[in-house]
Amino acid sequence: MEDYQEVFDSYLQGLESKVGHFGYTSLVSPMHFTHYTPRQVTSDYTTRGITLQIFSFKIANISLDLEWPLLQWPLKVYGVVAARDNVDRKRNVLFHRQRDNFQEITQEDPFLCLTGPSRAISAESPLEFEVQLKLKGGHAESEDSVLINRKGHFGGYHTDNGLYTVTFDNCLCTAELSLQKLYRGAVQATFLRVGIVKGSQSPFSYGGRVACSSPPQEDVVRGSEGPAAPTQVVLLDSRYCAGGKMPIGEEDGYLDLSRHVVSLELRTVSEDSEELEETLKVVVEAYSPGGSVQAAVMVRPQYCGISKHKCDLNGSKVKITIAWSPIISSAFTKKVIL
């Protein structure tokens, strides 16, 4: 464990000479060009290069053979998981919890509840992922222990479907980050609002879930105990919320999403057409003792601007508002932000 820690500490010290403090987070907005017209967006400050879609992060297994520290499920986890790309070399946080807001994960459900990325992640080198996770012990912080401190470099070897797993391991555990490379010109979609239209009864008495996929994947209707599809981005799942309840405003009906930003490819319906294909599928699901109910809406992406959509979930009207923006390049941040 000491060798792992020394390597990680050396990496963090090297970062401080480049970005100030290693903990500084990216301030680049995912909606920087939302209110531009397509002709106003200069190609000098945007990129159509390869980007990443982040699906999930899980503790795949833990070592049960060690005499000390003794690890056993469930785990009370807190800390940071982040990406650091060439756009601004600052942390793009995927998961961040303080000690007093730890997440308890089990062997049956070992996934962390992700809250990021806060903007699209560029796959151009250099690209690293950082994992700093601790386990809450007793009442005092001195009783806590380090679960894993590791850096992972994403080289991006080729796969037929663009799906990848980045593995982080030490003598205590193995963690896995699931992601996908998006090769075609991509944009980022920021979910501003998902909520129930006034006058509609909330279908989330037993909780629910909001997820999306791109390109559209088949979604399996499942009970509230089942996992998300491996190629879905989960924006909100009440299983990870306080009391297992859906965080919804009593007055406005809007849901408090855990994640907001996804990336998706721009695909035309045919080679000789400029019309874009519907490459984003949004699924809203309501849990119930008798089985879950789903509603889905297909969304056609935009280069910039704001789009609004509706779907019917078991008689309740759900409204969705999405902001669109091309992806900022490192050339923009070097000239305008840094």
The CA distances from residue 50 to 61, 109, 119, 141, 142, in Å, are 31, 31, 14, 41, 43
The CA distances from residue 28 to 82, 117, 273, in Å, are 15, 11, 33
The pLDDT-based confidence of 226 (bands split at 50, 70, 90) is: low
The pLDDT-based confidence of 65 (bands split at 50, 70, 90) is: confident
* Residue 12 located in a structural domain: yes
pLDDT value at position 218? 45
- Condensed to tens digits (0 to 9), the pLDDT of residues 69-86 reads 678 899 999 999 999 998
Task: Name the more confident of 337 and 200.
Answer: 200
CA torsion through residues 136, 227, 156, 172, sign:
positive
The pLDDT-based confidence of 16 (bands split at 50, 70, 90) is: low
pLDDT value at position 222? 39
As a whole number of angstroms, the distance between CA 11 and CA 14 comes to: 5
**Do 14 and 144 lie in a common domain?**
yes
pLDDT value at position 56? 96
As a whole number of angstroms, the distance between CA 47 and CA 329 comes to: 5
pLDDT at 12 exceeding the cut of 90: no
* Residue 332 located in a structural domain: no
**Do 178 and 190 lie in a common domain?**
no
pLDDT value at position 110? 97
* Residue 36 located in a structural domain: no
Among residues 182, 205, 225, which one ends one of the domains? 182
* Residues whose CB is less than 8 angstroms from the CB of residue 86 and which lie 6 or more positions away in sequence, other chains included: 122, 124, 125, 126, 127, 330
* Residue 39 located in a structural domain: no
Among residues 163, 182, 201, which one ends one of the domains? 182
pLDDT value at position 43? 80
**Do 59 and 95 lie in a common domain?**
yes
The pLDDT-based confidence of 10 (bands split at 50, 70, 90) is: confident
* Residue 266 located in a structural domain: yes
**Do 141 and 10 lie in a common domain?**
yes
**Do 123 and 141 lie in a common domain?**
yes
Side chain identity, residue 268: T
Among residues 131, 158, 182, which one ends one of the domains? 182
pLDDT value at position 260? 98
The CA distances from residue 128 to 149, 150, 154, 276, 338, in Å, are 13, 10, 6, 32, 20
Task: Name the more confident of 204 and 156.
Answer: 204
- Using alpha carbons, select from 139, 170, 151, 142 the residue that is nearest to residue 66: 170
The CA distances from residue 233 to 46, 77, 159, 213, in Å, are 24, 21, 20, 6
**Do 193 and 320 lie in a common domain?**
yes
The answer, as to whether pTM is greater than 0.85, is yes
- For the chain, the 3-state helix, strand and coil shares in percent, each to the nearest 5, are 15, 40, 45
The owner of tokens 């301030």 is 27
**Do 87 and 109 lie in a common domain?**
yes
pLDDT value at position 70? 72
Mean pLDDT in residue range 113-125: 94
The owner of tokens 């080198």 is 125
The pLDDT-based confidence of 47 (bands split at 50, 70, 90) is: confident
- Condensed to tens digits (0 to 9), the pLDDT of residues 227-270 reads 566 789 999 999 999 999 999 998 899 999 999 999 999 888 88
CATH number for the domain that contains residue 170: 2.60.40
pLDDT at 202 exceeding the cut of 80: yes
Lowest model confidence (mean pLDDT) among 35-44, 79-88, 318-327? 35-44
Side chain identity, residue 153: H
Residues spanned by the domain of 318: 186-327
Side chain identity, residue 149: N
CATH number for the domain that contains residue 199: 2.60.40.150
